[in-house]
Amino acid sequence: MKQQVLFFFFTLMLTGISVSAQTGGGRIAGVVIDNAGEEPLPGATIFIEELKKGIVTDGHGEFLLSDVPAATYTLTVRFIGYHTQTRKLTVGKERGKKIIIRLKAEAKSLDEVVVMGKSEARKLREQAMPISVISMNQIQGTVNNVQDILAKTAGITVRATGGTGSTSRISVRGLEGKRIGLFIDGNPMNDNSDFIDINDIPVEMIDRIEIYKGVVPAKFGGSAVGGAVNIVIKEYPPKYLDVNYSYGSFNTHNASVVSKMNIAPKGIEFGLGGFYTYADNDYKMKSPFQEGLTITRDHDKFKKTVIGGSFKARKWWFDLVEFEPVFIHTYKDIQGIESNIRHAHSHSNAFIFANKMEKENFLLDGLDLDWQLGYIYTDYHFADTASHRTHWDGTHYPAVSEFGGEIGKWASLLTNEKHQLQHKLNLNYLVNENHSVNFNSLLKYAHANPRDGMKDKVIGYRTDFPSNMFSWVAGLNYDYRTSNDKFLNSFNVKYYYYSMKTRMASVLVKTAEDIDTHKNDFGISNALRYRITPSLMAKASFGYDVRLPSEEELLGDGYVIAPAGNLTPERNISVNIGMLFDLTGKASSNLQIELNGYYMHLKDMIRFTGGFLQSQYQNFGEMRTLGMEAEVKADMTRWLYGYVNATYQDLRDVRKYEQNTTVANPTKGSRMPNIPYLMANAGLEFHKENLFGGSGMNTRIFTDASFVEEYLYDFEQSQFQQHRIPRALSCNIGFEQSFGNGRYFIMGKINNLTDTKMISEFNRPLPGRSFTIRFRYVFK
């Protein structure tokens, strides 16, 4: 038996072809899936009446019974929370076919109590750690992107700098950027943010989004402080085709294809899929730097193409052996706001090769293995060689150097090639029903080779050098759960190590300095949950987490961001106390009420700071956070769903002295700038089957609103300084209409219905009113 190595990444756009092998006798094989969301149903029971024999579906919803005599059999399929289905099946001498059994969800009322199966999202909400879970049922069929969905969650903001393809950072309880871990199927993606953005992932490919607040589970690996977002990609049934196309304002196009076919059963799947995004982003905005100037963003074109393939084997000794190649191409114009940039642009390519192996009961009963290995090659190019600069009125003036250039102080033709190798090992051991242990190891190696001959000509010597980085994060988690599930305690400990070897030269000093850094640290956390009643639980957690500096922060980008080899890891202490009241599956309202209070103290905070020639990341000092968040959501009637949430987060500068000096800090006690402190969201959704008559149709109409109170984008040290982003209230409205029992969809949405002036970080204007219309076809 040939074994293959494993790993990580974009199960995303990938598709498959399923095959089952034939043995000598007859067989009954198939898969049980949810009729609406197409998710597999692990643990469903299939009873064959004539054989008086039953089997249970595996983790992928599949089942197999071999050596069955030729005859006609009656299959009864049951799963908690779903209608029981009976099916006749004839087994002959010819090759058997894998059958697909689709179960329809139900809610059975027993003395006013609704009995339903626990969804994966609900199980996660009942963990000890503070977590928000957005299930596929909440986002299916909308034209929202991931950014829109996250922005409506309590305690979450997404900091965008422009339209489609612009830089965006997730903020969890005021901590943002690379402090917040971004994971796809549990695999860390933070260091690849130049190539993969949260909005690149089509919503229809997502099963659920998990948002961890304060404490990040050891099983994820990587380093993060304050929180993490894990996007879980859905598993598709054996035969599936999902085609999407949308068109929106500012000439925005999105297209994606997901397909899967079942050819014959040997547990082998092949696939191919991908998606494409294009946008002009040519919206108008008022200049934040020149009074009375309106700018049309006519140099902000964005294009991204992603193509991926997959090979999976589910019937070998391993439960899953997977190989995935992925190619990503990105092109982006550089839009000027302070000045009128006309020619500068970037483009990049990323090649990802990933392998993964999973095995339940590996070597001994109760021990599950997840072993992954991946190689990533990226090739990034930045060009800024314009012969002149341009005023907003169209007149020309000299370039920034004798060799040209529009940005900064010199021209540039940067190329940065990078090789990355990542290995992840996760071992989960279920000792018994009360005790479980999880070990996670994440090893990462990166070699970067930046070159910019044009910049070297301007400065007169080389300032960018090859670098090698190595990091290891190991985590151990122990869970204790009482037999009656009243009490759950989760204890985590992590070890962090990283090293960097390179040379650094300043644009002001010709002599290059050798850098050989080795640093290590540890983190520890404990989270507990106590079920007061079947519907009411209390949660508490404490954590001391560490975040290692990223490559970009340590090495810069070779152009506008200077190296900062002396950065130290960030350290964060967090405390969370919360209550969750959950009637999901217990009452027709499915009411959920959650309230959390939290405290955080961040030391050695890494902050991006500007400079005359180059900007740089620096350890800023200390920041303290006190906050509260509350959320209520419920099915108000059988056809009307609503939610409302609010967040207050008070982040304060608590440095005694200016950085690296003994000078008293004039902003001590001031609210941290460029971070909202008061936010709220609310929404309603109307949904009804066959609203306009006929059959097999479903209608959804939704509206939501977001409020952000006025906040500072820089410290104000006198009444004459006005660095403020104004209060904003924006509203969206949209619809979805499906036909043919969920085969055909048409959807539409208007963002910022009232055309409110929207400002993001550092006083950057965002798009006003916009629309999107989407068409979707699903074959199942």
Biggest distance spanned by C-alpha atoms of the chain:
89
Lowest model confidence (mean pLDDT) among 115-129, 217-231, 478-492, 592-606: 115-129
**Sign of the CA dihedral 173, 179, 131, 684?**
positive
CA distance 571 to 604: 7
Residue 294: other Cβ atoms inside 10 A: 10
pLDDT higher than threshold 80 for residue 94? no
CA distance 602 to 653: 10
Give the pLDDT band of residue 84 (cuts 50, 70, 90).
confident
Give whole-number Cα distances, 191 to 179, 471, 712, in Å: 11, 12, 29
Identity of the highest mean pLDDT range in 561-570, 604-613, 717-726, 768-777: 768-777
Predicted local confidence at residue 10, as pLDDT: 32
pLDDT higher than threshold 50 for residue 146? yes
Minimal CA–CA distance to 48: which of 79, 90, 105, 20?
90
Q: Tell me which CATH code domain 240-779 carries.
A: 2.40.170.20
CA distance 767 to 300: 12
Q: Give me the mean pLDDT over the 93-105 stretch.
A: 70
Predicted local confidence at residue 154, as pLDDT: 81
CA distance 496 to 474: 7
Q: Give, as one character, the DSSP assignment of residue 753.
A: T
Residues 6+ away with beta carbon under 8 Å from 595? 578, 579, 628, 629, 630
Q: Taking CA 675 as the corner, what is the angle to CA 669 and CA 679, rounded to the nearest 5 degrees?
A: 110
Element (H, E) at 485: none
- Quick check: helix, strand or coil at residue 137? helix
CA distance 262 to 165: 35
Predicted local confidence at residue 346, as pLDDT: 93
Predicted local confidence at residue 73, as pLDDT: 85
Q: Tell me which CATH code domain 21-97+99-107 carries.
A: 2.60.40.1120
Identity of the highest mean pLDDT range in 20-29, 137-146, 211-220: 211-220
Residue 104 tokens, joined: 């329809």
Predicted local confidence at residue 107, as pLDDT: 47
Q: Give me the mean pLDDT over the 319-342 stretch.
A: 90
pLDDT higher than threshold 70 for residue 282? yes
pLDDT: which is higher, 557 or 6? 557
Q: Give, as one character, the DSSP assignment of residue 179.
A: G
Minimal CA–CA distance to 140: which of 210, 232, 209, 204?
204
pLDDT higher than threshold 90 for residue 771? yes
SS (H, E, C) 410-462: CCEEEEEEEEEEEEEEEEEEECCCCEEEEEEEEEEEEEEEEECHHHHHHHCCC
Residue 30 · residue 99 · CB < 8 Å: yes
Termini Cα distance of the chain: 33
- Quick check: helix, strand or coil at residue 553? helix
Predicted local confidence at residue 718, as pLDDT: 61
Minimal CA–CA distance to 597: which of 583, 612, 577?
577
Percent with pLDDT over 70 in the chain? 84
Give whole-number Cα distances, 525 to 250, 419, 546, 589, 625, in Å: 46, 33, 11, 35, 18
Residue-wise pLDDT tens digits, 444-480: 999 989 999 998 888 888 888 898 989 899 999 999 9
Residue-wise pLDDT tens digits, 476-534: 999 998 888 889 999 989 998 988 888 877 666 667 788 888 888 888 989 898 999 98
pLDDT: which is higher, 582 or 659? 582
Residue 677 · residue 648 · CB < 8 Å: yes
The structural domains of the chain, with segments of one domain joined by +, span: 21-97+99-107, 120-233, 240-779
CA distance 124 to 649: 24
Element (H, E) at 145: none
Average pLDDT, rounded, for the chain: 81
Residue-wise pLDDT tens digits, 31-47: 888 776 567 788 788 88
Question: DSSP E strands: which ranges in 586-639?
Answer: 592-603, 606-609, 616-619, 622-637
pLDDT higher than threshold 60 for residue 113? no
CA torsion, ordered 398, 402, 405, 411, to nearest 10 deg: -160
Tokens 């894998």 found at: 98
CA distance 187 to 37: 24
Give whole-number Cα distances, 24 to 21, 67, 70, 94, in Å: 10, 7, 12, 10
Residue-wise pLDDT tens digits, 211-241: 887 777 777 766 677 778 888 887 777 677 8
Residue 437 tokens, joined: 């242990």
Lowest model confidence (mean pLDDT) among 39-43, 128-132, 308-312, 549-553: 128-132
Predicted local confidence at residue 47, as pLDDT: 86
**CATH fourth-level superfamily of 120-233:** TonB-dependent receptor, plug domain (2.170.130.10)
Residue-wise pLDDT tens digits, 67-82: 788 788 888 998 877 8
Predicted local confidence at residue 114, as pLDDT: 36
Residues 6+ away with beta carbon under 8 Å from 613? 408, 409, 507, 508
Residue 754 · residue 705 · CB < 8 Å: no
Predicted local confidence at residue 118, as pLDDT: 45
Tokens 């939501």 found at: 704
Residue 181: other Cβ atoms inside 10 A: 26
Say whether pTM exceeds 0.85: no
- The residue type found at 230 is N
Residue 676 · residue 157 · CB < 8 Å: yes
pLDDT higher than threshold 60 for residue 117? no
pLDDT higher than threshold 50 for residue 163? yes
- Quick check: helix, strand or coil at residue 148? helix
Question: DSSP E strands: which ranges in 288-360?
Answer: 294-296, 302-313, 320-333, 345-359
